[in-house]
């Protein structure tokens, strides 16, 4: 679709390739697209970010780290808050930010989150974004400073083949009591320029709304598992009741079956209620 609509070439980024002027580089399915020094592109099949791969935050962070004031981040229609933390990193490093007007977006979640996190971003309808990007390209970029050390640490970890550092390389974020919804690893809270996101030691990363969504999905999965286990207990107790050698044994298993079935129904009601 993008290739048919775009007046300029559209290609999938290749690991080790280079950014080409006048070409749109897309993240291929199942890979994060990252930008490195000297216009180098990297593909990462690492941990999902905001429950997806590719995600926009790793791309934005890598661009902010290496190109600072030369970067223009744009957040379009989408659900939840992917892109908000990355856009904040771009602005903190001297770059600019454009956001599709939430009233103009098919899904307003991402634009709204971006504007809450980066209130200085310019919001406009999608039809006005193209001319605004062209105009921004004509404006001189500001001076590039030294990137935030936390941004350097995280972008290093997001590069393919990199592993978590321990000792001597700085500490990424603050410990939290939260467990990663995907792998149950310990999570750190990382704050860059007023934007907060959470990252486990494996690399799964979540902005706040995506963390809540992931926790809700994990909780529902566990509750359905509880329903299944309780209903199986009820069936086993009823089977044992039918084979009981005495009335007391039969009544005991029947009572336990009824309790397990009632508990299963109560949990089911909480899920579907």
pLDDT tens-digit series, residues 209-235: 999 999 999 999 999 999 999 999 999
What pLDDT, on a 0 to 100 scale, did the predictor assign at position 169? 53
The reply to whether 222 and 130 lie within a common domain is no
The reply to whether 30 and 126 lie within a common domain is yes
Tell me the C-alpha distance between 219 and 181, whole Å.
9
Q: How many domains does the chain have?
A: 2
The reply to whether 30 and 116 lie within a common domain is yes
Please say which residue of 104, 138, 172 terminates a domain: 138
Q: Do the bridges between strand 174-179 and strand 186-192 make them parallel or antiparallel, or are there none, so unpaired?
A: antiparallel
Q: Is residue 183 part of a domain?
A: no
Q: Is residue 25 part of a domain?
A: yes
The reply to whether 110 and 218 lie within a common domain is no
Q: Is residue 198 part of a domain?
A: no
Nearest to 190 by CA among 88, 120, 97, 43: 88
Q: For residue 43, is pLDDT > 90?
A: yes
Task: Assign 139 a pLDDT band (cuts: 50, 70, 90).
Answer: confident
Q: For residue 130, is pLDDT > 70?
A: yes
Q: Supply the CATH number for residue 87's domain.
A: 3.40.50.180
Q: Is residue 176 part of a domain?
A: no
Q: Is residue 96 part of a domain?
A: yes
The reply to whether 224 and 129 lie within a common domain is no
The reply to whether 34 and 123 lie within a common domain is yes
The reply to whether 20 and 121 lie within a common domain is yes
Over residues 103-132, the mean pLDDT reads 97
Over residues 142-171, the mean pLDDT reads 76
Tell me the C-alpha distance between 86 and 71, whole Å.
12
Nearest to 112 by CA among 90, 84, 93, 140: 84
What pLDDT, on a 0 to 100 scale, did the predictor assign at position 218? 94
Report the range out of 78-92, 129-143, 158-172 with the highest average pLDDT. 78-92
Do you find a cis peptide bond into 86, omega within 30 degrees of 0? no
Task: Assign 167 a pLDDT band (cuts: 50, 70, 90).
Answer: very low
Percentage with pLDDT > 70 across the chain:
96
For the ranges 1-15, 66-80, 124-138, 254-268, the lowest mean pLDDT is seen at: 1-15
What pLDDT, on a 0 to 100 scale, did the predictor assign at position 168? 42
pTM of the entire predicted model: 0.85
What pLDDT, on a 0 to 100 scale, did the predictor assign at position 166? 40
Q: For residue 78, is pLDDT > 50?
A: yes
> Is 166 in a helix, a strand, or coil?
coil
The reply to whether 114 and 217 lie within a common domain is no
The reply to whether 233 and 112 lie within a common domain is no
Q: Is residue 91 part of a domain?
A: yes
Q: Is residue 177 part of a domain?
A: no
Please say which residue of 116, 138, 160 terminates a domain: 138
Q: Is residue 188 part of a domain?
A: no
Please say which residue of 92, 117, 138 terminates a domain: 138
Over residues 1-14, the mean pLDDT reads 87
- Quote the domain boundaries for residue 240: 211-272
Query: How much is the mean pLDDT over the chain?
Result: 93
């Amino acid at each position: 679709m993008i290739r048919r609509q775009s007046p300029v070439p559209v290609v999938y980024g290749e690991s080790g390739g280079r950014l080409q002027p006048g070409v749109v580089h897309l993240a291929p399915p199942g890979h994060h697209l990252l930008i490195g020094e000297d216009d180098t592109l990297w593909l990462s099949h690492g941990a999902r970010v905001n429950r997806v791969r590719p995600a926009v935050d790793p791309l934005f962070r890598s661009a902010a780290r290496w190109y600072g004031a030369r970067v223009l981040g744009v957040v379009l229609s989408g659900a939840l808050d992917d892109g908000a933390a990355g856009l904040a990193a771009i602005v903190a490093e001297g770059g600019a930010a454009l956001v599709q007007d939430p009233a103009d977006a098919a899904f307003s979640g991402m634009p709204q989150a971006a504007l809450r996190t980066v209130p200085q971003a310019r919001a406009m309808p999608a039809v006005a974004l193209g001319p605004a990007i062209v105009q921004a390209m004509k404006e001189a970029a500001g001076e590039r400073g030294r990137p935030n050390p936390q941004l350097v640490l995280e972008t290093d970890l997001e590069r393919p083949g990199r592993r978590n550092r321990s000792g001597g390389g700085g500490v990424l974020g603050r410990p939290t009591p939260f467990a990663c919804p995907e792998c149950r690893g310990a999570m750190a809270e990382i704050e860059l320029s007023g934007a907060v996101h959470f990252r486990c030691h494996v690399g799964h990363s979540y902005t706040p709304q995506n963390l809540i969504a992931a926790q809700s999905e994990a909780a529902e999965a566990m509750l359905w598992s509880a329903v299944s286990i309780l209903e199986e207990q009820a069936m086993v107790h009823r089977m044992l009741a039918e084979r009981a050698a005495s009335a007391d044994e039969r009544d005991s298993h029947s009572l336990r079956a009824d309790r397990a079935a009632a508990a299963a129904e109560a949990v089911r009601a909480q899920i579907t209620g």
